[in-house]
Amino acid sequence: MRPTPAIAIVLLAAAGFVRGANPAAPQPLTAQIRLEKVKLRPTVLLMGRTADGRMVCRDLKPPGTVWRLKPAEVSRIRFDFKYDRALVAKLRRSGRWTQAAMVMGKAVIPALPYLDIPHNNGIGLAMRTGNYLTRGGDLKSGFSLAPAARKAGAAEFKYALAIFQKVAAAEWSERAAEAQMRACMCLVFLGRTEEAEETFEAIAEPEVDGDEYGVYQLARAYCWAAKAKAREAADEKRGAEWRLAVEAAVHSSDFASKDINTFPSALLLTAQCYEELGDWYRARDVYYGLAKLFARTPWGVVARRDLRRILDDGKTAKDEAVASKDVFFGIDEDLNAESRKLLGIDENGNPVVPPKDPKPADKKN
């Protein structure tokens, strides 16, 4: 899939791929800086970085003094981000994640060369832009690791990777580690499995109660899943890698149950791993739970589709050996029947037409 011109111009600048662009400073940017040893808080135009990492900035007040500041001389930066927040909210509500990222990207990309300088306000917007791009890539790929599906969302994952790598380089930020984990997942969806594995191995495992633990386990799960997916069906290592992937995905869903950027993806990957392992009942159970919890989301759409496929193929037609209440969310019901009810189909797969409400009886005088 070819990226649109707008994406190519705005987002590829983040990685310095636009001809004639300086990767260190794609666009000038207005910001307020606070200097470490003086009380000056000038509003300046950031012009770029020198070869040794100094910031080149020009005072907006006459006579327009130009400074070349070492990062250690700057104690804070406040970028003047201007973008249409109402438009971003509208695009998000309509599920147009790539377009929402483009709107924010025009504002945040000029700040990427300066994210390594401590105490700037660009990290949050950069992470949101990267996450929105990832969501757009997920939609186009259908959350699938298959090569053809990955190709459909490659543009979004490529640009998200460039942004996450810039945030990951900001070692002063508490979100640097998370950005590195999300960069790892982008590499998986770009088919760069070995690079993803190397990136993951360089990440220190966070504390179990840390905010990024769920993201860490999801990145781990995707790395194992990608390795397993690349193997031949008869390869004896394949099953072991899928089991490691599902173990990590379950850990992620357990520890990121309130993170919309992690939890539903972890559940979906869990179900996909169970399918690869031929554990159709667990796959059905997770798809069912996901379809109920996230009914009106892209994850719910995929879950409903794959749940229907499992039922239509008769994979769970026989009584299961383990009660479903021991498998997923403590459900103690006939999951085949509940799944058909959720999908609005009967035992033969035909749509169930809900009965019409009876006409109210005439009131007697």
Tens digit of each residue's pLDDT (9 = 90 or more) over 126-154: 999 999 999 999 999 999 999 999 999 99
pLDDT at 123 over 60: yes
What are the helix (H) ranges across 79-191? 85-93, 97-108, 123-141, 147-152, 154-168, 176-189
Higher pLDDT, 300 or 365: 300
Higher pLDDT, 119 or 332: 119
- Residue pLDDT, tens place only, 280-337: 999 999 999 999 999 989 999 999 999 999 999 999 988 766 554 445 555 557 889 9
- pTM equals 0.86
Answer positive or negative: Cα dihedral of 124, 125, 126, 129: positive
| Alpha carbon distance 127, 162 (integer Å) | 11
Q: Measure CA 7 to chain center.
A: 18
With a pLDDT cut of 90, the percent of the chain lying above it is 73
- Residue pLDDT, tens place only, 222-270: 999 999 999 988 888 999 999 999 999 999 999 988 888 899 999 999 9
| Alpha carbon distance 184, 201 (integer Å) | 10
Over residues 169-185, the mean pLDDT reads 96
Give me the pLDDT at residue 167, please: 98
Over residues 26-36, the mean pLDDT reads 86
Q: Token pair for residue 266?
A: 């972890």
Hey, how many other C-beta atoms are within 10 angstroms of the C-beta on 218?
28
Give me the pLDDT at residue 215, please: 97
Give me the pLDDT at residue 139, please: 94
